[in-house]
Structure 1
Amino acid sequence: MCQSGVATWAAASLGRAFSSLPEPVVHATAALEENGITLRGGHEDETLLISLPQRPFAATASLPEEVAKSIAGSAKRVAVIRPAFLPFDEAQPLLNEVLAPLGTSAVALAAHTQQPAQRLLVDEYTRGSGGSFALQTPATELATYLNRKFMRVALVPDVAQAFAAAAAAGRPEAKTTLPNSLAGVTKLRSMQSTNNVLMVAPTAFGFNEQAAQDNSFMHAADKPQESSSLTAKVCAEFAELHRQLTDVAGVNVKLFQHHLRHGTPDAVFPNNWFSTHAAGEAAGGVSRPTLVLYPMKCPNRAAERRPEIIQVLRQAGYERVLDMSGHEKRDKAYFEGTGVLVLDRVNGVAYVALSERADRKLAEAWVHSLGYKELVAFSSSDGRGKPVYHTNVMMAIGTDVAVVCADSVTDPKERQHLLSKLSQSHEVVQISSAQMDALCGNVLELQGGKGLPVMAMSSQAYHAFTPQQRAVLRRHVAELVHAPIDTLEKVGGGGVRCALAELF
């Protein structure tokens, strides 16, 4: 809905399901001007974002007079970009190398600006009665500044290409398909990742004999009789993961715990028994906010569907609840949530590695019921020739990048179809079987506190990626967030992605 050429845009909430605050409705635009980029956000007057001809090395009390005089138009605020850590004898980047408008309320931001040594700062100045500009707010990190201006930010490898793609897609005769990141911010499409997750601290963690029957990633504790020390060690690792996600990355975590009386040694992996889906997901296929409950193979994993947690989820406002758990006893058929489902939530493609925990008929029923466009099902095996128990240990999908162990798919036609489908919408990072064993496939894109995507993983996975692979990931996410959870991975057989249940 447009008003006087300025579009109304609803800023991203802190989580529809768990926020009691209404989404603020603001006016925000981004436009390319002759001497900068104009931002119109919130209830403020427009802000002109510029870089100075001569590199500044600090904020100043006021803009230089010659700069102030050159600023025409109605801008009452000027924001000057300067590099934070660039050596003194290097030229500052041009504005159009790091930022480009994508139309109403959206900008493209170069991914490299999120690397520590290439961070950019913004000094904001306000116009006074005499036409001069006085310093208002110094040294705000650029992505944080854009977030405060209610701008939707697409993190991209190449700003010029993003600007050209958005311009081409806006023409009536356009037949090009925008990358997911650009489509997400320019067309307000459903997002691939969320800032909100549910986690269960491993306060009663233990080796799960039931799950170990078909999970070759699990290894019994060296001294299983020392269960209390094992639990304490895993809790300490998990606490550091929680700190990295919340304090460092700015992810909003809803944290629960469990007790021995619950009989749920694997409760730390909640993504297997439920999933949530926003209205508009799957290119509009998901019509209503939806909560799905899943049938679990192991009885002590089915017990993780604790009534009190389900009640909290139900109260979060999901209009539809799809309960598939009855298939456990009725059909002895299982379908373990986003453990077996790796989802392209933007385009509506569900990837499933078939196994005892991923029944094909239930996969087909899920796709039909949720309104997804396509099911890509295949068989996958580990280096020992055993079926991969969960799809999310051999592949992951972000907004514009995907990770996959294609070598684990033994059928050549299935492997080719999988890679072909992924490459239509993502830059694909292929990992080896050894890297899959190091849980490089068990990673998850989330939205960080600045509104930019981050990739969460274990430290084992981080170090198992090659430098070149990490560089590809960083072309599409602001940060690779990791923590050492070696004991949980060894004894529990799951990594960071398994420990994160997304809340949309």
Structure 2
Amino acid sequence: MKQITDTILMVRPVAFRMNEETAVNNYFQKELEGDDINSLAAKEFDEFVDKLKSVGVNVIVVDDVLEDNTPDSIFPNNWVSFHQDGKIALYPMFAENRRKERRLEYFARLEEAGFKITDIVDYTSAEEDDIFLEGTGSLILDRVNQKAYCAISPRADEDLLIEFCEDFEYTPVIFNAYQKVEDKRLPIYHTNVMMCLGEEFAVICLDTIDDKKEQKNVVKHLKQDGKEIISITEEQMHEFAGNMLQVQGMAGKKYLVMSARAHRSLTDDQIRRIEQHCEILSSEIQTIETCGGGSARCMMAEVFLPKA
């Protein structure tokens, strides 16, 4: 098994804006004025893709469909995950207007690119019971040690997480993570805004795990698997410093991909510690982050499928 891949699926936006249906529990989203939000987001998207390609990451770009009116399609990692045994998982989405993002014709593009799909495991019927698990937004997968870290929230149901773990042979590491919203502690909508897992390290905001037992348990699992823990503050998390993804480029060179905003928020010591493992690759995606309430990691669906 491998933890990182050199192939990423990304969806170019055509109707990007702040999604009113997700704003109810994504406290990172903000409204931006202006009519050209989508064109700004598309420009940021294209520059981000160019940066990934320039270091040898294989980026498969698919275009969203305007008629579907899917403002968050730029974040495909929430509805799909691709696995080394050829399986694909499809996930139930909290916001009704995000369910149209699941476009199975994208899989034909992967097959054209030489990837093999053996099975599709579909959890989407859970939407009928208002049960959700939003892909690798909710699940931080340690693919090598087969552990699934998950912060329970309205978008991450514990029973469905356990079902996923049984189907894909992962051990669940379950906890609750909170952020401060107007003097209240409210659940963080996706685990991947407070935690990122690389081959040899984890960038994590432990301060969001209020329960000390749960916090200790997460640390125990990370240490058990030899991960260096690089802690970030809640303030840095709000700059999307937890929303990162390690990828592989040319000649096996490794990169930690993040937004320019996340990069700017890091201390010299945090940067030094990350750079002991891999190079940092950052891109300016301010419009996408502000309106979408997600960052670099959310834009990349990692492809681990075997070659046909």
TM-score above 0.5, yes or no: yes
Counterpart residue type for residue 446 of structure 1: V
Q: Secondary structure of the residue that 1:267 maps to in structure 2?
A: coil
- Pair member with larger Rg: 1
Displacement of 1:317 in angstroms is 1.5
Alignment of 1:212-291 (within 5 A): 212-223=23-34, 226=35, 229-247=36-54, 249-278=55-84, 288-291=85-88
Distance 1:310 1:303 in 2: 15
Displacement of 1:260 in angstroms is 2.6
Distance 1:270 1:449 in 2: 24
Displacement of 1:427 in angstroms is 0.4
Matched, 1:353 2:151: yes
Select the residue among 130, 133, 139 that pairs with 1:332.
130
Higher relative contact order (CA 8 A, sep 6+): 2
Which residue number corresponds to residue 447 of structure 1?
248
* TM-score relative to the length of structure 2: 0.94
Displacement of 1:295 in angstroms is 0.6
Alignment of 1:300-339 (within 5 A): 300-313=97-110, 316-329=115-128, 331-339=129-137
Distance 2:73 2:149 in 1: 24
Matched, 1:298 2:95: yes
Matched, 1:468 2:266: no
Matched, 1:380 2:191: no
Spell out, residue by residue over 1:203-224, the C-alpha distance to the aligned partner (whole angstroms, 9 max, x if none): 221111001111000001234x
Matched, 1:421 2:239: no
Select the residue among 199, 209, 231 that pairs with 2:20.
209
Displacement of 1:495 in angstroms is 0.3
Distance 1:289 1:457 in 2: 27
Distance 2:25 2:143 in 1: 28
Distance 1:218 1:485 in 2: 14
Cα RMSD, aligned residues only: 1.2
Displacement of 1:311 in angstroms is 4.2
Which residue number corresponds to residue 67 of structure 1?
none
Displacement of 1:310 in angstroms is 4.0
Matched, 1:393 2:204: no
Q: Secondary structure of the residue that 1:211 maps to in structure 2?
A: coil
Matched, 1:344 2:175: no
Spell out, residue by residue over 1:60-97, the C-alpha distance to the aligned partner (whole angstroms, 9 max, x if none): xxxxxxxxxxxxxxxxxxxxxxxxxxxxxxxxxxxxxx
Which residue number corresponds to residue 259 of structure 2?
458
Displacement of 1:361 in angstroms is 0.3
Alignment of 1:3-82 (within 5 A): none
Displacement of 1:394 in angstroms is 0.2
Which residue number corresponds to residue 39 of structure 1?
none
The answer for unaligned runs of 5 or more in structure 2 is none
Displacement of 1:259 in angstroms is 3.3
Distance 1:489 1:321 in 2: 30
Distance 2:135 2:2 in 1: 19
Distance 1:322 1:473 in 2: 35
Distance 1:295 1:203 in 2: 22
Displacement of 1:405 in angstroms is 0.3
Moved over 4 A (4+): none
Distance 1:314 1:363 in 2: 28
Distance 2:98 2:121 in 1: 19
Displacement of 1:238 in angstroms is 1.3
Counterpart residue type for residue 262 of structure 1: D
Which residue number corresponds to residue 212 of structure 2?
412
Q: Secondary structure of the residue that 1:377 maps to in structure 2?
A: strand
Counterpart residue type for residue 9 of structure 2: L
Higher helix share: 2
